[in-house]
Amino acid sequence: MAGILVDEQPCPVGGGFKTTCDYTGAMLVIGRRTAMITLSMSREAAKLVVAYMTGISPAELEEDDLADGMAELVNMIAGSSKSSLVGTDFHFRITLPFVLVGENQHIVYKSKPVDRCKHYFAGDIEATLELVYLEG
Amino acid sequence: MIVLSVDDSAIIRKIIRGAVEVLEGTLLEASDGEEALEIMDKHDGIDLILLDWNMPGMNGWELLNRIKSHPVYKYIPVMMVTTEGERENIVRAIRAGAVHYLVKPFTTEDLQKKILECLGRGDISSN
């Protein structure tokens, strides 16, 4: 549905790394451990991704469409991860997706660095996917 | 052809609307189970229900059971539209009376093909 081929690379290692973005799609993953999956990108990137996903011209996409599209994307990513773990000991539940919207925002985690982080690139589109365990 | 899409995602409903309009059908839209039941009360002749699984309020599973226990609505074919993570629920849904399923992400062509299959204008096959 998104129809985009992307290149990926690990995020820089180190405590100073921050992902700054305008839209973050997020879902909680609840199992033996509790984690949050986030997909973050700029407003321009979100427009392109949601346009690819829907077939709607970027110019016609409204703010609600972008937030909704980001929620659906992270839903699909978390859902795919969940499916790949069926039959293993790592079964988990996922919550409904939600979206953080705001210019140049980033998430500050209280106690832990990001556990898994990847950057994705496709032309002008840049996105960051993170998984963070939320236990103390 | 009248199709009811029940999905909390407006963007998914937009994609479905585009696909249904290409098939020269009409799309009714509900963002949760309660709204879907209200729409079904008001509209006769719904040919197909496309039902998301994971929704706030009354979710897809609850709505499917309400539909299939209703004396009139139970005859309307239901296709589940789910993410990959809900795949394990598909068997449960089919046993409860859903006729087909579509896993997100999907292409418009997949969607149109499965809509036609549900309406008896194509072969139902698993994906």
Q: Do A76 and B8 touch (CB under 8 A)?
A: no
Give the best residue of A57, A68, A70 to mutate against chain B (max B CB count within 10 A).
A68
Chain A: closest CA distance from residue B71 (Å): 31
Distance CA B1, CA B24 (A): 7
**pLDDT for B127 beyond 50:** no
Long-range contacts of A39-42 (CB under 8 A, 24+ apart): A39/A70, A39/A73, A39/A74, A39/A77, A39/A127, A39/A128, A39/A129, A40/A127, A40/A128, A40/A130, A41/A70, A41/A125, A41/A126, A41/A127, A41/A128, A42/A126
Q: Do B11 and A50 touch (CB under 8 A)?
A: yes
Chain A: closest CA distance from residue B18 (Å): 9
pLDDT value of position B124: 54
ipTM summary value: 0.75
The rounded Cα B82 to chain-centroid distance in angstroms is 10
| Least confident piece of the model among A6-20, A22-36, A62-76 | A6-20
Mean of pLDDT values over A105-126:
80
- Per DSSP, the three-state class of A111 is coil
**pLDDT for B72 beyond 90:** yes
Q: Looking at beta carbons, which residues of chain B come within 8 Å of A88? A: none
Provide the whole-model pTM. 0.83
